[in-house]
Chain A
Amino acid sequence: EAQVTQNPRYLITVTGKKLTVTCSQNMNHEYMSWYRQDPGLGLRQIYYSMNVEVTDKGDVPEGYKVSRKEKRNFPLILESPSPNQTSLYFCASSVERRDNEQFFGPGTRLTVL
């Protein structure tokens, strides 16, 4: 089944404790991205990747890191999480960015205390 998977689905952590949210897709998509979704603010792109070893900042990259060592994986790293990073995070992938359909993962709800 074609899908985007994220882990964990739920995470409660404390300020400053490094964490990684994994994202994997099995559709051989070149383009992958991370979004955060906050009430009243909608979906905002954090980082995106056009292909292996190619990443770039989205609208709200501060406090986040990403890597793209393999085509299928695109982990999101929070080196020192803060409470303002409490949010619902989505990973997405597509054959190409822009006009093509983005396939979203099920989301990771992160709470930083």
Chain B
Amino acid sequence: TQLLEQSPQFLSIQEGENLTVYCNSSSVFSSLQWYRQEPGEGPVLLVTVVTGGEVKKLKRLTFQFGDARKDSSLHITAAQPGDTGLYLCAGASSGGSYIPTFGRGTSLIVHP
């Protein structure tokens, strides 16, 4: 099974601060997804990146896929309490596996 390492595991910041979450692997992925999960709910897709070097923006969130398609980052600008949640990255193997690999998640708390 391929591994996706997420860092940091926990993040507690004040409203208005910026932050970056990292998702790294030694394996190549054909695509990578970021999900956000709120307490008591299932994960919800934020974005899918498929091209090495791709950058996607979703309001205050910026997602980047590494050139070698082994890593990704999520940057949040001016975090708000509504950004609080568990952020998960998930990779689809380039080798044809039907089993997606999920990172362990980054738990973000944004204090007002």
Contacts and interface: CB of A to CB of B under 8 A. Distances in A.
Interface string B69-99: 0000000000000000000101011000011
B98 A48 contact: yes
A41 B55 CA distance: 28
B112 interface: no
Given A104-B43, A107-B42, A48 B99 contact: yes
Contacts of A48: 98-99
B31 A98 contact: yes
Contacts of A58: 99
Contacts of A105: 42
Interface residues of A, number: 24
Please classify how large the interface on chain B is, using the bins under 10, 10 to 19, 20 to 34, 35 or more: 20 to 34
Contacts of A106: 40-42
B102 interface: yes
Q: Which of B43, B48, B92, B100 has the most CB of A within 10 A?
A: B100
Interface of A: 4, 35, 40-45, 48, 50, 56, 58-59, 90, 92, 97-99, 101-102, 104-107
7 contacts: A40-B104, A42-B102, A48-B98, A98-B31, A98-B100, A102-B100, A106-B42
